Amino acid sequence: MFNGTMEEVNQALFESANEAVTITIGLVSMLIFWLGFMKIAVEAGILRIFSKLFEPIIIKLFPEIPKGHLAIQYILSNITANIFGLGNAATPMGIKAMEEMKQLSGSTTASRSMITFLALNTSGLTIVPTTVIAIRIQYNAVSPTEIVGTTIIATCISTLAAILLDRIFYMRSKM
Amino acid sequence: MYYYITLISTWMIPMFILVTLLLASWRKVPTYELFVEGGKEGINIALSLLPFLLGMIVSIAILRSSGAIDAFVSLLNPILVKIGVPSEIIPLAIIRPISGTAALAMTAELTQTFGADSYIGRLAATMQGSTDTTLYILTVYFGAVGIKNMRYALKVGLLADLVSIISALLIVYIVFG
């Protein structure tokens, strides 16, 4: 408006609408594959073994979720996929976790567990920053993986901060 | 150490699929029927997600192309430079929580102009890798299950991003500075 960039705004409007459709199509394939496959995984009980192991930690983070609930299995799968840099698999599992948490709360207002879950996801906990390494390889870095250490430290700090902030805001919302 | 971590993450999905299918056939679970049934849910979720995602992405594109974000950056620039933040990195720090594609493009650009082994290149990589796009995550997850009131989720996400950017600045300074 002030910069005389109205032309660009028009162009950006249509280009970004296209981009949104492209992103969604990219998600469709992953959602179909992973939601289909996770149905098998849940039925086969493979996640139950895994979630028994980590359930105590998850319950600590998500006190609203009852023990043995399906949401725990999906939350764990999402976190594991994120940590190993498998973003494509993480999103469908995260959406399933959200569905389970919505069934628990039964309302269109975000529940405490949902916000904790999203706080974990937005802080991007990972030990393999795959896309960044790809960029560094592309631009001939001497050691493409040398930033892994700094990234892990930064992501751990931001994840801790996210958990703390989530607690603080939850306490404040209850007052 | 890093070699083993990447090894695990490339092997993880194929192994997970193999073990799941073995266990499923041993327990006589109707795999194909379940897969198709779950896959159908995926289509519905993706379609119902599209309006949320499109609205968010278009509004960010308008903010970017109209110069509103640039104006915001140049407003903060003098203050941040005074504290010692390299001015080349400021646009990336601000765009990182807002738009994943834009941030990725900026990281690539910074890596290209300054070199992957430069201070700015390493800083951009750490910043890009250590956090995720808060707005995208909130839109996708809340949109997929139809949450209308997200309460304090945005505040928590953005404040955590702030912490992540500050810690990236500090750690890269300590390690590579």
A·B CB contacts under 8 A: 310
- Neighbouring residues of A105: CB distance < 8 A, sequence distance ≥ 6: A64, A111, A113, A114
Put simply, whether A32 touches B (Cβ < 8 Å) is yes
Residues B44-69, mean pLDDT to the nearest whole number: 89
Which A-chain residues 104-163 have CB contacts (< 8 A) with chain B?
Answer: 108-110, 114-115, 117-119, 121-124, 126-129, 131-132, 135-136, 138-151, 153-155, 157-159, 161-162
Q: Which of B95, B97, B92, B130 is nearest to B111 (CA)?
A: B92
Q: What are the pLDDT digits (tens) for B5-26? A: 778 878 888 898 999 999 999 9
On chain B, the residues whose CB falls within 8 A of the CB of A39 are 34-35, 37-38
Confidence class for position A1, pLDDT limits 50, 70, 90: low
Q: Which of A17, A168, A136 is nearest to B156 (CA)?
A: A168
Query: Per the CB < 8 Å rule, is A158 touching B8?
Result: no
Q: Which tokens go with B111? A: 């890596």
A4, pLDDT greater than 70 = no
Confidence class for position A5, pLDDT limits 50, 70, 90: confident
Q: What are the pLDDT digits (tens) for A22-67? A: 888 888 888 899 999 988 998 888 888 878 888 899 999 999 999 9
* Domain boundaries of chain A, sorted by first residue: 6-174
Write down the H helix ranges in B66-152.
68-83, 90-95, 100-114, 119-129, 134-144
Residues B136-161, mean pLDDT to the nearest whole number: 95
On chain B, the residues whose CB falls within 8 A of the CB of A117 are 141
The radius of gyration computed from the CA coordinates of chain A, to the nearest angstrom, equals: 19
CA A118 to chain centre: 7
| Four-point Cα dihedral B123, A85, A124, B117, nearest 10 | 0
Residue-level length of chain A: 175
Query: Per the CB < 8 Å rule, is A162 touching B156?
Result: yes
Q: What are the pLDDT digits (tens) for B79-101? A: 999 988 999 999 999 999 998 88
Using CB atoms within 10 Å of the CB of residue B7, give its burial: 0 to 12 exposed, 13 to 18 middle, 19+ buried.
exposed
Percent of chain A with pLDDT over 70: 98
On chain A, the residues whose CB falls within 8 A of the CB of B149 are 108-110
The distance of B138 to chain A (nearest Cα, Å) reads 7
Using CB atoms within 10 Å of the CB of residue A17, give its burial: 0 to 12 exposed, 13 to 18 middle, 19+ buried.
middle
Q: Which tokens go with A172? A: 């404040």
Give the DSSP H/E element, type plus range, for residue A136: helix A130-138
Helix axes B31-65, B2-26, angle to 10 degrees: 140
Confidence class for position A75, pLDDT limits 50, 70, 90: very high
Q: What is the largest CA-CA distance in chain B?
A: 66
On chain B, the residues whose CB falls within 8 A of the CB of A1 are 66
ipTM of the complex: 0.90
